[in-house]
Amino acid sequence: MKRKPHRNRRGLFLGAVLGAVVGYFAGRTLGNPAIGIILGTLAGSALLYRINPGPWNLR
């Protein structure tokens, strides 16, 4: 039986916020904070949406 991978909306939101903050500072050092925010939001939300399992006994 194949088990469905964990995915949650809270990880999506948290990843977007944290990615935007990190992307802002990374983009600021490279010269364009707006592009850093966009790329950081995409990368952070995709990563935490897939990895962060959330509460264990959720049914």
Domain chopping of the chain, boundaries: 9-51
pLDDT tens for each residue of 5-19: 566 677 788 889 999
Residue range 33-59, pLDDT digits in tens: 999 999 999 999 888 877 765 665 555
Find the mean pLDDT for residues 25-31.
93
d(CA 30, CA 9): 31
Q: What is the pLDDT of residue 6?
A: 60
Q: What is the pLDDT of residue 10?
A: 78
* pLDDT given at position 20: 95
The count of other CB atoms within 10 Å of the CB of residue 17 is 15
pLDDT at 9: 77
